[in-house]
Amino acid sequence: MGDLLTHGAAAVLLKVGVRGRFIPVFVLGTVMPDLCSRVPAIGLGYVHVHLARVSPFFTHGWQPFHQPVGLVLLAFLTCFLFQETVRASVFWNLLGGMALHLGLDVLQSHHGAGYLLGFPFSDFAWELGVIGSEATVGWAIPLSLLAWFVYRYRASQP
């Protein structure tokens, strides 16, 4: 979840780079895995550690929102919030953003924990592990500013 800024910025840069439409939806898809899995897990985890015991379902059960099968279901569910005319585009853009998120996440190393990309069909945990899990901290602000300027420049073009 600590990569919300870098994920969002990468999504903007990618979409602007390919001159794609539905940029906000794509960005939403990029941040949704962390918003729906990490935010509640960290929040309830804090309650569990410091305040009161919380059922394991509420500390572990959010993880499928950070796995491909769960994310396809989440994108499907979310696109129904939008008007029917844009629903298919919203679904594919959400899914594209989610794929970008997972693609960036698997670059990280969690010292053997890995990501269960095939769950519930496979329990094989995997990650490329080419960068540390905090390696993006230094990039977050510059990348976000770059994304903002690039987005504004694109918006100003006819």
Q: Which of 13, 16, 47, 69 binds other proteins (CB under 8 A)?
A: 69
Six-digit token pair at 52?
């009161």
| Prior bond of 120 cis (ω within 30°) | yes
CA distances from 37 to 55, 147, 158 (A): 16, 25, 39
Grouping H, G, I as helix, E, B as strand and the rest as coil, residue 52 is coil
* Binding flag, residue 99, other proteins (CB under 8 A): no
Q: Which of 16, 43, 63, 104 binds other proteins (CB under 8 A)?
A: 63
Binding-residue pattern over the window 6 to 45 for other proteins, x denoting contact by CB under 8 A: --x-------------x-xx-----x--x----x-----x
* Binding flag, residue 77, other proteins (CB under 8 A): yes
Distance of alpha carbon 37 from alpha carbon 11, whole angstroms: 19
* Binding flag, residue 134, other proteins (CB under 8 A): yes
Distance of alpha carbon 62 from alpha carbon 59, whole angstroms: 7
Span from 12-20, 70-78, 95-103 in contact with other proteins (CB under 8 A): 70-78
3-state secondary structure 100-150: HHHHHHCCEECCCCCECCCCCCCCCCECCCCEECCCCHHHHHHHHHHHHHH
Count other C-beta atoms under 10 Å from residue 47's C-beta.
Answer: 14
Near other proteins in 109-128, by CB under 8 A: 110-113, 119-120, 123
* Binding flag, residue 130, other proteins (CB under 8 A): no
Contact set with other proteins (CB under 8 A): 1-5, 8, 22, 24-25, 31, 34, 39, 45, 48-49, 53, 56-57, 59-65, 69-70, 73-74, 76-77, 80-83, 86, 110-113, 119-120, 123, 133-134, 136-137, 140-141
